[in-house]
Amino acid sequence: MFKGQPKGLFALALANTGERFGYYTMIAVFALFLRANFGLSAGTAGTIYSSFLMLVYFFPLIGGILADKFGFGKMVTTGILVMFLGYLLLSIPLGSGTVALVGMLAALLLIGFGTGLFKGNLQVMVGDLYNDPQYAAKRDSGFSLFYMAINIGALFAPTAAIKIREWAIGLGFDGNAAYHFSFAVACVSLIVSIAIYYAFRSWFRHVEGGHAKGQKQEIVDTLTPEQTKKRMLALFLVFAVVIFFWMSFHQNGLTLTYFADEFTERSASGLASMPFNVWNLVAIIAIVYALFSIFDREATQRGKWIGCGVVAAAVAYLVWQYSRLSGSIEISAPIFQHFNPFYVVALTPVSMAIFGALAAKGKEPSAPRKIAYGMLVAAVAFGLMAFASIGLNTPDFQATVRGAEGETLVSPYWLISVYLILTFGELLLSPMGISFVSKVAPPKYKGMMMGMWFVATALGNFLVQVGGHLWGPLPLWVVWTVFLAVCVVSAIFMFVMMGKLEDATK
């Protein structure tokens, strides 16, 4: 899985991991912070939340255009510095008045712009590592590994957000002020990120200017105007579809978090409490990767024995953790957000093995087909949410009976299962989509097209607020059915346009 990859991939992935850890620590509690600190309605909080996500994914277009002129490396460094200022401002507790609201909005603008300079350009640099013919066949698997690294940072973020907030409350800060300590984590993570970037810069310096040396002109000369037109059309068709995937998927930070907070059991005991400890999830990840090393035909005997030792140690740790359980634990709504990155990290080698086996037989689906399948899988997830919500109160009524007779709650395993299914869809769509853009985009527009990928994502994130506005008087199953329908229609569109999409990759 890791063999044959350019070493620059691992340096860039680790730099991104640090930045993503800080970002997801903030995102884990941000929607709840908006409602608690400013007393906002679900719809208004959803509008601010989705508008921020839109900025995070819109500004990469500007970042890509600037990088095409000034170089990717400069924009990545500048982006980290701008983000740092934004997170620093957000971490200052200014209360809940007008000054606090203006300060928060200014911080969000800085974070969004800094992320725009950093995120897309770093990914273009990763893609350009594979312009070297010796790495070209590893492009899709490389982006899968890069995506996995992002989610390692995201895996620990919800636990960090909750624990740091609890620590701040223990020091005497009120609940709202304590949120700012979670936001401050991002400042520290960015320092780690930029340190990694410059420590290993020699591994990827050759792509900081935008293109691997000696290859830009050669690639441009091989594209006819007709080929360029086909590629651009295919890219914009994909962009149109991903809008609706992210509109649905990023309900994880809004309506799915509302559902976790308002409709999910708030405590767990025994075996049911095990998944809410992030270190138990880390042990499971260790088992998955160790098993792959044991059954890897190319692994040495020593490597296989090490794998066996890791499996034994991880299983022993889980048994020890189980033996220590007593009573019940409180389940905080943000903790559910660690399941998606956990599944990404744990399932990436599984998906790579499956597609690797299909590729060896010449049967691996094209990137556009994977994206279409991803939309269908996401539809299944929201279908399960609709089923789980039948018979539950409306959110408006639930708010009036919270903690009293008449409250309707469900098992946390509904959400855990939904996150599993959504992750399968994400693995089919997101890393494959980024890989598709880096492969198909005409070289002279590569930065801009990667920016357009993020613009499509931005539009999807802006539409996330639809869930917030639906949250209230409507039955919950209706809310989830809206997203189910959006995903199904998008998948059908992809299959109808499949010929044009696959033709562009030839």
Question: pLDDT tens for residues 469-498?
Answer: 999 999 999 999 999 999 999 999 999 988
Tell me how crowded residue 496 is: count the other CB atoms within 10 A of its CB.
Answer: 11
User: How many whole angstroms separate alpha carbon 100 and alpha carbon 506?
Assistant: 53
Question: Measured between alpha carbons, how far apart are the two ends of the chain, in Å?
Answer: 26
The segment with the largest mean pLDDT, out of 127-131, 233-237, 307-311, is 307-311
**Mean per-residue pLDDT of the chain:** 88
Task: Please tell me the predicted confidence (pLDDT) of residue 409.
Answer: 94
* CB 209, CB 71: distance < 8 Å: yes
> Is residue 57 classed as helix, strand or coil in its secondary structure?
helix
Higher-scoring residue by pLDDT: 173, 467: 467
- How far out from the chain centre does Cα 473 lie? 30
Phi then psi for residue 303, to 5 deg, are: -65, -40
DSSP secondary structure, 447-487, as one string: HHHHHHHHHHHHHHHHTTHHHHHHTTTS-HHHHHHHHHHHH
> What digits encode the pLDDT tens for the residues 12-45?
999 999 898 989 888 888 888 898 889 888 889 8
H/E run at residue 432? helix 412-440
318 has a pLDDT exceeding 50 = yes
DSSP 243-312: HHHHHHHGGGGTHHHHHHHHTB-SEEEGGGGGGGSHHHHHHHHHHHHHHHHHH-TTS-HHHHHHHHHHHH
High-pLDDT (> 70) share of the chain, %: 96
Question: Structure pTM?
Answer: 0.81
Band of residue 316 on the pLDDT scale cut at 50, 70, 90:
very high
User: Measuring CA to CA, how many Å separate 290 from each of 5, 156, 417?
Assistant: 20, 21, 24
Distance CA 399, CA 443 (A): 53
